[in-house]
Amino acid sequence: MSQTSYGPGVEKYIEAAKKQIALREKILARVKKHKFDTLAVHGLYTVEEALDLNQGSIIEPLYMATSQAYRDSAELEAALSYLIPTWCYTRIANPTTYYLEWMLALLEGYAAGADTSCVVTASGMSAIASAVDPFLVEQKGGPAKINLVSSIQVYGGTFQQFSVRKQQERGIDVRWVRHPHDLEEWKAAIDEGTRLLYVEAPSNPQQAFCDVKALADLAHAHEIPLIFDATCATPALLRPIAHGADIVVHSLSKTATSSGMAIGGALISRKPVVTRVKNDSPLFKESFAEYVKFLPYRDNGPAASPFNALMALNDLRTLRSKMDLFSRNTQTVAEFLEKHPKVYQVDYLGLPSYHLHALAERYLKLVDSDDGKGNEVNRYGHLMSFRIDGPPENARRVFDAFKLIFRATDLGRVKSVATIPAVSTHLQQGEEARRAADVPPQLIRLCVGAEDPADIIADLDQALKTL
Ligand SMILES: *Cc1c(COP(=O)(O)O)cnc(C)c1O
């Protein structure tokens, strides 16, 4: 901050805020000792927060107001100079989204051996743009052309954002890695112009996976960050920061808000991140999510709706037990499909026959579970895909015959949903890119919900009988 002296009365507010900051630090230290389920239920919304600030409400209140009122010009000045804790205006911050940000920072940072910060956004796509864009700026004396290296096995919207918005429109070289589990492919793509590595695992829909720690180590050897889309795993199964990732992005619209009642995104960063990009703000490196929140996010405006934040908070409370249930149901369904004569391939990380099973087994574990021998149990999430024998029309016939499973470009729900990615999520990217990403028209993506798996199997069975 260039300003050194403030108006009369500002100091008084800074002093008063110190007490509030100290109390929050004390609460934070206490809360950090909680187990995952306790964090997911309460986050930072403690009894003190309820009684002192929110009329005793046991649930985080929904603050729909656009803006905060101040006592006088001195408090206004202190707030807008970021000298005191404030929320100010909902595009910048909001009390309800504040609790969600802390919840996610704590869950992603759980047993991770690092401090974390978080900013929530209007959607997963805006979280991705917010995470990636600050690194993609040209710098004096830097390489003439900058690039990012990304797995090609990413969500269709991410592929579009990188290939159209960044490569075609802005001239940023986007280098695709076809097999993210192959470290050599990553190595070959990195050079002095590389600003970041980007990976999604497990990927939607292909079930790509990677050696998280090895990839983070590779990124750090080149002084660049690893940005990780962990939407499908959720922090209940994988916390990439614990394995070295710098920044985690989520679509909160999916499993995190499994009731399907809100769109949202999140960016959670390790303190500090590894980068060779120079930035005037010390927060850029020290607390990247806060940097994004206080600066580019404030200026670009991808703020989350407080209502959606509350929906996400509500669903996150039972995340661990839901991921356990969803994963077990999906395993049962995948085992059924694997034996079905009309299905020629089932891609699910939980199947021992799947080529990346052993790699996923090392990383995808239900947090705070116990197999009786002191180890966490493996759980692989609820996204899978299967491929139907014969021409693409066969896959459509089976898909169109579902009676219980919803046809929707959606995933992560308590209700089972299916789509054909080649005609939906991955339509825009064209046939060649779909082939590169291994998304053939015979592939049906299925995300299994909380129903009794016997009923889902019965629905799949009757649909497959139409062939
Ligand atoms: C849906 C999805 C996104 C995009 O999230 P939105 O909230 O729809 O913007 C990003 N990554 C993955 C893995 C997704 O499934």
Residue ranges covered by each domain of the chain = 90-316, 319-464
pLDDT score at 243: 98
pLDDT score at 402: 98
Closest protein CA for atom 7 of ligand 1:
124
CA distance linking residue 308 with residue 256, whole number of Å: 12
> pLDDT tens for residues 277-306?
999 999 999 999 999 999 999 999 999 999
Pocket residue to mutate for ligand 1, from 150, 231, 445, most atoms within 8 A of Cβ: 231
- Spatial contact of 143 and 198, defined as CB atoms under 8 Å apart: no
> pLDDT tens for residues 362-378?
999 999 999 999 999 99
Across the range 158-170, mean pLDDT stands at: 97
The residue type of 214 is A
Average pLDDT of the chain to the nearest whole number: 95
Asked whether residue 250 carries a pLDDT value surpassing 70, the answer given is: yes
Find out whether the beta carbon of 248 lies less than 6 Å from any atom of ligand 1.
no
Give the Å distance between the CA of 155 and the centre of ligand 1: 7
Asked whether residue 191 carries a pLDDT value surpassing 60, the answer given is: yes
Give the Å distance between the CA of 59 and the centre of ligand 1: 27
Structure tokens given for 397:
């016939």
Across the range 453-460, mean pLDDT stands at: 98
Asked whether residue 220 carries a pLDDT value surpassing 70, the answer given is: yes
pLDDT score at 427: 79
Give the Å distance between the CA of 424 and the centre of ligand 1: 14
* CA 34 remoteness from chain centre: 22
Pocket residue to mutate for ligand 1, from 120, 128, 161, 204, most atoms within 8 A of Cβ: 204
pLDDT score at 229: 98
> Domain 90-316 falls in which CATH fold?
Aspartate Aminotransferase; domain 2 (3.40.640)
Give the Å distance between the CA of 124 and the centre of ligand 1: 5
Overall CATH class of domain 319-464: alpha beta
Asked whether residue 461 carries a pLDDT value surpassing 80, the answer given is: yes
Q: Residue 343: which pLDDT band, with cuts at 50, 70 and 90?
A: very high
CA distance linking residue 121 with residue 266, whole number of Å: 6
Closest protein CA for atom 6 of ligand 1:
124
Nearest to 229 by CA among 220, 218, 210, 214: 210
Find out whether the beta carbon of 200 lies less than 6 Å from any atom of ligand 1.
yes
Atom of ligand 1 nearest to the CA of 126: 9
pLDDT score at 4: 61
Asked whether residue 428 carries a pLDDT value surpassing 90, the answer given is: no
- How many other C-beta atoms are found inside a 10 Å radius of the C-beta of residue 362? 13
Give the Å distance between the CA of 184 and the centre of ligand 1: 27
Burial track 165-186 (b if 16+ CB lie within 10 A, e otherwise):
ebbeeeebebbbbebbbebebb
Find out whether the beta carbon of 90 lies less than 6 Å from any atom of ligand 1.
no
Give the Å distance between the CA of 201 and the centre of ligand 1: 12
Of 298-307, 383-392, 402-411, 421-430, the least confident: 421-430
Closest protein CA for atom 5 of ligand 1:
124
CA distance linking residue 6 with residue 331, whole number of Å: 61
Pocket residue to mutate for ligand 1, from 198, 251, 383, most atoms within 8 A of Cβ: 251
pLDDT score at 435: 82
Asked whether residue 411 carries a pLDDT value surpassing 80, the answer given is: yes
Give the Å distance between the CA of 211 and the centre of ligand 1: 22
CA within 13 Å, CB half, 234: 34
Asked whether residue 108 carries a pLDDT value surpassing 50, the answer given is: yes
Atom of ligand 1 nearest to the CA of 252: 7
Give the Å distance between the CA of 251 and the centre of ligand 1: 4
Asked whether residue 389 carries a pLDDT value surpassing 50, the answer given is: yes
Percentage of the chain modeled with pLDDT above 90? 90
Across the range 123-152, mean pLDDT stands at: 94
* Model pTM score: 0.96
Across the range 316-323, mean pLDDT stands at: 98
Give the Å distance between the CA of 18 and the centre of ligand 1: 39
Asked whether residue 245 carries a pLDDT value surpassing 70, the answer given is: yes
Give the Å distance between the CA of 252 and the centre of ligand 1: 8
Across the range 254-258, mean pLDDT stands at: 97
Across the range 442-451, mean pLDDT stands at: 97
Find out whether the beta carbon of 410 lies less than 6 Å from any atom of ligand 1.
no
Q: What are phi and psi of 285, to 5 degrees?
A: -90, -40
Of 74-78, 136-140, 162-166, 251-255, the least confident: 136-140
- How many other C-beta atoms are found inside a 10 Å radius of the C-beta of residue 452? 10
pLDDT score at 82: 85
CA dihedral 217, 223, 229, 233 (to 10 degrees): 20
Find out whether the beta carbon of 229 lies less than 6 Å from any atom of ligand 1.
yes
Give the Å distance between the CA of 411 and the centre of ligand 1: 9
Asked whether residue 57 carries a pLDDT value surpassing 80, the answer given is: yes
